[in-house]
Amino acid sequence: MASGSAAGCGGPILNPLEAILRLARERDMLTIVDAVASLGGHPFAADALGADIVVAGPQKALAGPAGISAVAVSQRAWTEIGRPDAPVTSTLSLIDQKHLWLDAGRGALPGTPAPLELWALAAALDRVEAEGIETIIDRHSEAAAAARDGLLALGLNPWAGEGEASNLVTAFAVPADVDATLLLERLRGTDPDFSLGVGTGADRLIRLNHTGRRADPAVVHTMISALAAALRR
């Protein structure tokens, strides 16, 4: 399973998704791509990349609800999913969803969907359609560039290299002579969307969130200004 866009992203660093999928195809392996962070934040062409199953959600770059998701399945994957010994009659069974939704003509959603989530999704997709997906991607790219430039101007090193950085969040390593916990506490007093990193060494990484509606150079400028003030203190 891979995360990301045509270099996918699940954090401040992109995964080399194109290379991963190419290697998988050469070995006749099915692939599952987590594109929750990629959709709307980076160019992502699932068919061209040859992804078999793509799971996405609208809660990040698309600024939609977090309680709903979408799955795209290739014909090759459907063949494997629908094998005779596959589990059926389960909320976790994709083949059941295929029979009840796709094969039935997409007339009525199977099960009992949460209407509030669907209304929130419809509102988010209306915004996406009005702005245009390419414009949303460009907006995230501009916000990421602004965050990177701001960190460099403060003498801080972005955690990811320029060619491998996510457009949704930008992380930097806290200088050794700065108390990371205290710095984060002061930053979050200004903006709760500052956060620690994830994984090994996370206690020395701070992330700037410029995802969804926050993908705006003005928001990034405010975050950089808050960071500069906190460092001076």
The CATH code of the domain that includes 204 is 3.90.1150.10
pLDDT (average), residues 161-173: 91
Please indicate, yes or no, if residue 142 is contained in any of the structural domains. Answer: yes
Query: pLDDT digits over 56-66, tens only?
Result: 999 999 999 99
Please indicate, yes or no, if residue 165 is contained in any of the structural domains. Answer: yes
45 & 145 share domain? no
Full residue range of the structural domain in which residue 157 is found: 133-232
pLDDT on residue 11: 61
Cβ–Cβ < 8 Å for 170, 207 = yes
83 & 160 share domain? no
Two tokens, residue 40: 């709307």
147 & 189 share domain? yes
Query: How high does pLDDT run on average in the chain?
Result: 89
Q: How confident is the model at residue 7 (pLDDT cuts 50, 70, 90)?
A: very low
Chain CA centroid to CA 220, Å: 18
26 & 106 share domain? yes
pLDDT (average), residues 74-82: 92
Looking at the chain, the whole-number percentage of residues with pLDDT higher than 90 is 65
Q: Would you tell me the crossing angle of helices 133-153 and 217-232 to the nearest 10 degrees?
A: 20
Q: Is the pLDDT of residue 158 over 60?
A: yes
pLDDT on residue 139: 97
Query: pLDDT digits over 102-128, tens only?
Result: 999 988 888 788 899 999 999 999 999
Closest CA to 120 of 70, 67, 61: 67
11 & 46 share domain? yes
6 & 92 share domain? yes
108 & 138 share domain? no
Q: Is the pLDDT of residue 9 over 50?
A: no
The CATH code of the domain that includes 97 is 3.40.640.10
Please indicate, yes or no, if residue 126 is contained in any of the structural domains. Answer: no
pLDDT on residue 203: 81
Two tokens, residue 135: 């414009």
pLDDT on residue 6: 43
19 & 82 share domain? yes
Count the domains in the chain: 2
Please indicate, yes or no, if residue 194 is contained in any of the structural domains. Answer: yes
- How far apart, in whole angstroms, are the C-alpha atoms of residue 139 and residue 73? 29
